[in-house]
Amino acid sequence: MSDEAILPEGREHPNAEGDVTSPKHGGDHTTTREFGLVEHQKNLDKLSAGQEKEQGAHTKTHVGDYVITLFEKEGDGVWIRRKIAVFRRLEPGDERTIGAYPLPESPYLEALVVELRLPKVVHERMKHLAARHRAIATLQPSLIRSYDPAGWLITAGGGGAIGVWLDYLPSDWLFPLLGVGLLGVVVGVLTREAYRRAEREAKQRWETSPEFKEYDSLARALVSEWVEATGKIKREIGFHTEIRVGEGSVEPLRLASIDTRMLESEHPLFDPEDFLPTEQGGAVRYEVIYPNGRLVTRPLLGTSDVQEAEWHSPSAS
Protein backbone atom coordinates (compact mmCIF):
# COMPACT_ATOMS: atom_id res chain seq x y z
CA MET A 1 0.00 0.00 0.00
CA SER A 2 1.12 3.52 -0.64
CA ASP A 3 1.68 6.14 2.02
CA GLU A 4 -1.19 8.22 0.66
CA ALA A 5 -4.77 7.36 1.50
CA ILE A 6 -7.20 6.39 -1.26
CA LEU A 7 -10.57 7.70 -0.27
CA PRO A 8 -13.16 7.06 -3.03
CA GLU A 9 -16.09 4.79 -2.33
CA GLY A 10 -17.83 2.17 -4.35
CA ARG A 11 -16.75 0.11 -7.31
CA GLU A 12 -17.85 -2.82 -9.41
CA HIS A 13 -15.91 -5.53 -11.18
CA PRO A 14 -15.60 -6.27 -14.91
CA ASN A 15 -16.60 -9.56 -16.42
CA ALA A 16 -15.23 -11.16 -19.58
CA GLU A 17 -17.16 -8.80 -21.82
CA GLY A 18 -15.88 -5.70 -20.09
CA ASP A 19 -19.12 -5.03 -18.22
CA VAL A 20 -18.91 -4.07 -14.60
CA THR A 21 -20.32 -6.71 -12.29
CA SER A 22 -19.91 -7.89 -8.74
CA PRO A 23 -17.44 -10.79 -8.41
CA LYS A 24 -19.49 -12.25 -5.60
CA HIS A 25 -20.12 -15.94 -6.23
CA GLY A 26 -23.76 -16.79 -5.83
CA GLY A 27 -24.69 -13.13 -5.47
CA ASP A 28 -28.04 -11.82 -6.54
CA HIS A 29 -26.99 -8.39 -7.74
CA THR A 30 -25.36 -7.16 -10.93
CA THR A 31 -24.61 -3.52 -11.61
CA THR A 32 -23.18 -1.74 -14.64
CA ARG A 33 -21.07 1.41 -14.88
CA GLU A 34 -19.88 3.22 -17.99
CA PHE A 35 -16.13 3.54 -17.93
CA GLY A 36 -15.27 4.24 -21.55
CA LEU A 37 -14.49 0.69 -22.65
CA VAL A 38 -14.56 1.61 -26.34
CA GLU A 39 -11.97 4.34 -25.88
CA HIS A 40 -10.09 2.02 -23.56
CA GLN A 41 -9.85 -0.56 -26.40
CA LYS A 42 -8.88 2.06 -29.01
CA ASN A 43 -6.07 3.37 -26.83
CA LEU A 44 -4.91 -0.17 -26.13
CA ASP A 45 -4.87 -1.07 -29.85
CA LYS A 46 -2.79 2.00 -30.68
CA LEU A 47 -0.37 1.29 -27.86
CA SER A 48 -0.04 -2.39 -28.77
CA ALA A 49 0.72 -1.54 -32.40
CA GLY A 50 3.53 0.80 -31.35
CA GLN A 51 4.94 -1.69 -28.90
CA GLU A 52 5.07 -4.51 -31.43
CA LYS A 53 7.57 -2.49 -33.48
CA GLU A 54 9.82 -2.13 -30.43
CA GLN A 55 9.42 -5.63 -29.03
CA GLY A 56 12.43 -7.24 -30.68
CA ALA A 57 15.08 -4.75 -29.55
CA HIS A 58 13.61 -3.75 -26.19
CA THR A 59 12.51 -6.90 -24.41
CA LYS A 60 13.27 -7.99 -20.86
CA THR A 61 13.60 -11.62 -19.81
CA HIS A 62 10.27 -13.29 -18.95
CA VAL A 63 9.84 -13.39 -15.16
CA GLY A 64 7.81 -16.60 -15.46
CA ASP A 65 4.65 -17.56 -13.56
CA TYR A 66 4.73 -15.67 -10.29
CA VAL A 67 2.62 -16.49 -7.23
CA ILE A 68 2.25 -14.36 -4.11
CA THR A 69 0.78 -16.01 -1.03
CA LEU A 70 -0.80 -14.33 1.98
CA PHE A 71 -0.94 -16.08 5.38
CA GLU A 72 1.21 -18.87 3.96
CA LYS A 73 1.87 -20.43 7.37
CA GLU A 74 -1.86 -20.84 8.00
CA GLY A 75 -2.46 -22.70 4.75
CA ASP A 76 -3.58 -26.34 4.84
CA GLY A 77 -3.29 -26.96 1.10
CA VAL A 78 -6.66 -25.47 0.11
CA TRP A 79 -6.43 -21.95 -1.28
CA ILE A 80 -8.61 -19.16 -2.60
CA ARG A 81 -6.91 -17.57 -5.58
CA ARG A 82 -7.29 -14.89 -8.20
CA LYS A 83 -5.03 -13.09 -10.62
CA ILE A 84 -3.98 -9.48 -10.11
CA ALA A 85 -2.23 -6.94 -12.31
CA VAL A 86 1.03 -5.42 -11.09
CA PHE A 87 2.67 -2.42 -12.71
CA ARG A 88 6.06 -1.14 -13.82
CA ARG A 89 7.16 2.27 -15.07
CA LEU A 90 9.30 2.26 -18.21
CA GLU A 91 12.16 4.71 -17.88
CA PRO A 92 14.22 5.79 -20.92
CA GLY A 93 16.26 2.81 -22.12
CA ASP A 94 14.23 0.23 -20.16
CA GLU A 95 13.41 -3.03 -21.90
CA ARG A 96 9.86 -4.27 -22.02
CA THR A 97 8.97 -7.41 -20.10
CA ILE A 98 8.01 -10.49 -22.08
CA GLY A 99 4.43 -11.36 -21.25
CA ALA A 100 3.58 -7.88 -19.96
CA TYR A 101 0.55 -5.94 -21.21
CA PRO A 102 0.35 -2.33 -22.40
CA LEU A 103 -1.85 0.06 -20.43
CA PRO A 104 -3.99 2.70 -22.16
CA GLU A 105 -3.65 5.06 -19.20
CA SER A 106 -0.02 5.77 -20.12
CA PRO A 107 2.46 4.60 -22.79
CA TYR A 108 5.16 4.60 -20.09
CA LEU A 109 3.61 1.80 -18.00
CA GLU A 110 3.25 -1.94 -18.43
CA ALA A 111 1.32 -4.55 -16.46
CA LEU A 112 2.14 -8.13 -15.58
CA VAL A 113 -0.36 -10.70 -14.32
CA VAL A 114 0.54 -12.65 -11.17
CA GLU A 115 -1.46 -15.01 -8.99
CA LEU A 116 -2.58 -14.09 -5.48
CA ARG A 117 -3.42 -16.89 -3.03
CA LEU A 118 -5.06 -16.88 0.37
CA PRO A 119 -5.78 -19.93 2.57
CA LYS A 120 -9.42 -20.94 2.30
CA VAL A 121 -9.66 -21.17 6.10
CA VAL A 122 -8.61 -17.52 6.36
CA HIS A 123 -11.04 -16.47 3.63
CA GLU A 124 -13.88 -18.27 5.41
CA ARG A 125 -13.05 -16.35 8.59
CA MET A 126 -13.05 -13.13 6.59
CA LYS A 127 -16.50 -13.92 5.14
CA HIS A 128 -17.95 -14.74 8.55
CA LEU A 129 -16.55 -11.65 10.25
CA ALA A 130 -17.48 -9.35 7.36
CA ALA A 131 -21.05 -10.64 7.50
CA ARG A 132 -21.20 -9.99 11.25
CA HIS A 133 -19.79 -6.49 10.73
CA ARG A 134 -22.48 -5.71 8.15
CA ALA A 135 -25.22 -7.10 10.38
CA ILE A 136 -24.15 -5.06 13.42
CA ALA A 137 -22.75 -1.84 11.97
CA THR A 138 -24.92 -1.26 8.90
CA LEU A 139 -27.75 1.21 9.43
CA GLN A 140 -31.17 -0.06 8.48
CA PRO A 141 -33.42 2.13 6.31
CA SER A 142 -35.54 4.48 8.42
CA LEU A 143 -37.80 7.41 7.58
CA ILE A 144 -36.33 9.27 10.56
CA ARG A 145 -32.88 9.13 8.93
CA SER A 146 -34.12 9.78 5.41
CA TYR A 147 -33.53 13.17 3.81
CA ASP A 148 -36.50 12.69 1.48
CA PRO A 149 -39.12 14.45 3.69
CA ALA A 150 -36.85 17.47 4.09
CA GLY A 151 -36.25 17.56 0.36
CA TRP A 152 -39.96 17.38 -0.40
CA LEU A 153 -40.75 20.25 1.96
CA ILE A 154 -37.93 22.46 0.69
CA THR A 155 -38.87 21.76 -2.92
CA ALA A 156 -42.55 22.47 -2.30
CA GLY A 157 -41.90 25.67 -0.36
CA GLY A 158 -39.21 27.00 -2.72
CA GLY A 159 -41.08 26.03 -5.87
CA GLY A 160 -44.28 27.55 -4.57
CA ALA A 161 -42.53 30.82 -3.67
CA ILE A 162 -41.15 31.02 -7.22
CA GLY A 163 -44.67 30.35 -8.49
CA VAL A 164 -45.94 33.31 -6.49
CA TRP A 165 -43.12 35.50 -7.82
CA LEU A 166 -44.04 34.54 -11.39
CA ASP A 167 -47.74 35.18 -10.67
CA TYR A 168 -48.69 31.55 -11.15
CA LEU A 169 -49.98 31.42 -7.56
CA PRO A 170 -51.84 33.97 -5.40
CA SER A 171 -49.57 36.40 -3.60
CA ASP A 172 -51.09 35.63 -0.20
CA TRP A 173 -49.64 32.09 -0.50
CA LEU A 174 -46.09 33.43 -0.23
CA PHE A 175 -45.59 33.37 3.53
CA PRO A 176 -47.22 29.94 4.08
CA LEU A 177 -45.02 28.55 1.32
CA LEU A 178 -41.90 30.11 2.82
CA GLY A 179 -42.93 28.52 6.11
CA VAL A 180 -43.09 25.12 4.39
CA GLY A 181 -39.58 25.63 3.01
CA LEU A 182 -38.27 26.67 6.42
CA LEU A 183 -39.88 23.61 7.96
CA GLY A 184 -37.99 21.51 5.42
CA VAL A 185 -34.71 23.07 6.55
CA VAL A 186 -35.52 22.29 10.19
CA VAL A 187 -36.45 18.69 9.29
CA GLY A 188 -33.17 18.38 7.37
CA VAL A 189 -31.12 19.51 10.37
CA LEU A 190 -32.94 17.07 12.65
CA THR A 191 -32.45 14.26 10.11
CA ARG A 192 -28.71 14.93 9.96
CA GLU A 193 -28.43 14.76 13.73
CA ALA A 194 -30.48 11.55 13.85
CA TYR A 195 -28.25 9.99 11.19
CA ARG A 196 -25.04 10.96 12.98
CA ARG A 197 -26.39 9.64 16.28
CA ALA A 198 -27.33 6.34 14.63
CA GLU A 199 -23.84 6.07 13.14
CA ARG A 200 -22.23 6.61 16.53
CA GLU A 201 -24.49 4.00 18.10
CA ALA A 202 -23.77 1.49 15.34
CA LYS A 203 -20.03 2.04 15.74
CA GLN A 204 -20.31 1.56 19.50
CA ARG A 205 -22.35 -1.64 19.03
CA TRP A 206 -19.71 -3.03 16.71
CA GLU A 207 -16.73 -2.08 18.88
CA THR A 208 -18.32 -3.72 21.93
CA SER A 209 -19.38 -6.87 20.07
CA PRO A 210 -17.59 -10.22 20.64
CA GLU A 211 -16.43 -10.32 17.01
CA PHE A 212 -14.74 -6.90 16.97
CA LYS A 213 -11.38 -7.94 18.43
CA GLU A 214 -11.13 -10.94 16.13
CA TYR A 215 -12.08 -8.83 13.10
CA ASP A 216 -9.63 -6.07 13.99
CA SER A 217 -6.83 -8.56 14.60
CA LEU A 218 -7.41 -10.26 11.25
CA ALA A 219 -7.64 -6.93 9.42
CA ARG A 220 -4.34 -5.72 10.89
CA ALA A 221 -2.70 -9.04 10.03
CA LEU A 222 -4.01 -8.66 6.47
CA VAL A 223 -2.46 -5.19 6.27
CA SER A 224 0.89 -6.61 7.39
CA GLU A 225 0.69 -9.51 4.93
CA TRP A 226 -0.22 -7.20 2.05
CA VAL A 227 2.61 -4.76 2.81
CA GLU A 228 5.06 -7.67 2.94
CA ALA A 229 3.68 -9.08 -0.33
CA THR A 230 3.96 -5.77 -2.16
CA GLY A 231 7.56 -5.38 -0.99
CA LYS A 232 8.38 -8.90 -2.16
CA ILE A 233 6.89 -8.26 -5.61
CA LYS A 234 8.95 -5.09 -5.93
CA ARG A 235 12.20 -6.76 -4.82
CA GLU A 236 11.85 -9.94 -6.83
CA ILE A 237 10.35 -8.84 -10.15
CA GLY A 238 10.48 -5.03 -10.04
CA PHE A 239 6.73 -4.45 -10.29
CA HIS A 240 4.36 -2.52 -8.01
CA THR A 241 0.85 -3.17 -6.72
CA GLU A 242 0.16 0.58 -6.83
CA ILE A 243 1.79 3.19 -9.05
CA ARG A 244 1.35 6.80 -10.06
CA VAL A 245 0.46 7.16 -13.72
CA GLY A 246 2.59 10.29 -14.18
CA GLU A 247 3.75 11.66 -17.52
CA GLY A 248 1.62 10.72 -20.51
CA SER A 249 -1.47 10.15 -18.39
CA VAL A 250 -4.86 10.64 -20.01
CA GLU A 251 -6.26 11.63 -16.60
CA PRO A 252 -5.97 8.83 -13.99
CA LEU A 253 -3.76 9.55 -11.03
CA ARG A 254 -2.92 6.01 -9.95
CA LEU A 255 -3.36 2.36 -10.81
CA ALA A 256 -3.77 -0.32 -8.13
CA SER A 257 -3.88 -4.11 -8.14
CA ILE A 258 -6.77 -4.28 -5.65
CA ASP A 259 -8.85 -1.81 -3.69
CA THR A 260 -6.91 -1.36 -0.44
CA ARG A 261 -8.50 1.91 0.73
CA MET A 262 -10.41 0.20 3.56
CA LEU A 263 -7.15 -1.22 4.91
CA GLU A 264 -5.73 2.26 5.33
CA SER A 265 -8.04 3.49 8.08
CA GLU A 266 -7.33 3.60 11.81
CA HIS A 267 -9.44 0.47 12.23
CA PRO A 268 -8.82 -1.44 8.98
CA LEU A 269 -11.71 -3.08 7.13
CA PHE A 270 -11.68 -5.76 4.47
CA ASP A 271 -13.93 -7.14 1.76
CA PRO A 272 -13.60 -10.90 1.10
CA GLU A 273 -14.76 -10.37 -2.48
CA ASP A 274 -11.53 -8.52 -3.25
CA PHE A 275 -9.78 -11.90 -3.10
CA LEU A 276 -12.15 -13.72 -5.45
CA PRO A 277 -11.48 -14.00 -9.19
CA THR A 278 -13.54 -12.27 -11.85
CA GLU A 279 -16.63 -14.36 -12.56
CA GLN A 280 -16.49 -16.99 -15.30
CA GLY A 281 -12.80 -16.45 -15.90
CA GLY A 282 -13.29 -12.89 -17.14
CA ALA A 283 -10.49 -10.40 -17.64
CA VAL A 284 -8.13 -9.70 -14.75
CA ARG A 285 -9.32 -6.49 -13.10
CA TYR A 286 -7.40 -3.51 -11.74
CA GLU A 287 -8.32 -0.25 -10.08
CA VAL A 288 -8.02 3.19 -11.70
CA ILE A 289 -7.97 6.12 -9.27
CA TYR A 290 -8.74 9.61 -10.58
CA PRO A 291 -7.59 12.97 -9.14
CA ASN A 292 -11.14 13.80 -8.03
CA GLY A 293 -11.26 10.68 -5.86
CA ARG A 294 -13.32 8.54 -8.27
CA LEU A 295 -12.30 4.89 -8.43
CA VAL A 296 -13.16 2.67 -11.40
CA THR A 297 -12.44 -1.02 -11.95
CA ARG A 298 -11.20 -1.87 -15.44
CA PRO A 299 -10.42 -5.13 -17.23
CA LEU A 300 -6.86 -5.78 -18.35
CA LEU A 301 -7.79 -6.68 -21.90
CA GLY A 302 -6.23 -9.79 -23.34
CA THR A 303 -6.13 -11.55 -19.95
CA SER A 304 -8.35 -14.08 -18.21
CA ASP A 305 -8.73 -14.84 -14.53
CA VAL A 306 -8.78 -18.32 -13.03
CA GLN A 307 -11.97 -20.30 -13.66
CA GLU A 308 -12.30 -21.61 -10.11
CA ALA A 309 -11.51 -19.65 -6.97
CA GLU A 310 -10.72 -22.74 -4.90
CA TRP A 311 -7.48 -24.59 -5.57
CA HIS A 312 -5.97 -27.63 -3.87
CA SER A 313 -2.20 -27.91 -3.80
CA PRO A 314 -0.79 -31.32 -4.80
CA SER A 315 0.43 -31.89 -1.23
CA ALA A 316 -3.05 -31.36 0.27
CA SER A 317 -4.48 -34.47 1.83
Does the pLDDT of residue 32 top 50, yes or no?
no
Question: Would residue 109 count as lying in a domain?
Answer: yes
Higher pLDDT, 260 or 215: 215
Yes or no: say if 137 and 202 are a contact pair by the CB < 8 Å rule.
yes
Residue 272 lies in a domain: yes
Is position 54 within any domain?
Answer: yes
pLDDT in tens, 76-122: 889 999 999 999 998 888 888 888 999 988 888 999 999 999 999 99
Q: Is 0.85 surpassed by the pTM of this model?
A: no
Q: Evaluate whether residue 145 is within a structural domain.
A: no
- CA dihedral angle for residue 289, residue 88, residue 5, residue 202, rounded to 10 degrees: 70
Please report whether residue 156 resides in a domain.
no
Q: Is 83 part of any domain? A: yes
Work out the mean pLDDT of the chain and round it to a whole number.
Answer: 80
Residue 198 in domain: no
Domain, as residue range, for 270:
13-119+220-312
**Number of domains the chain contains:** 1
Residue 163 lies in a domain: no
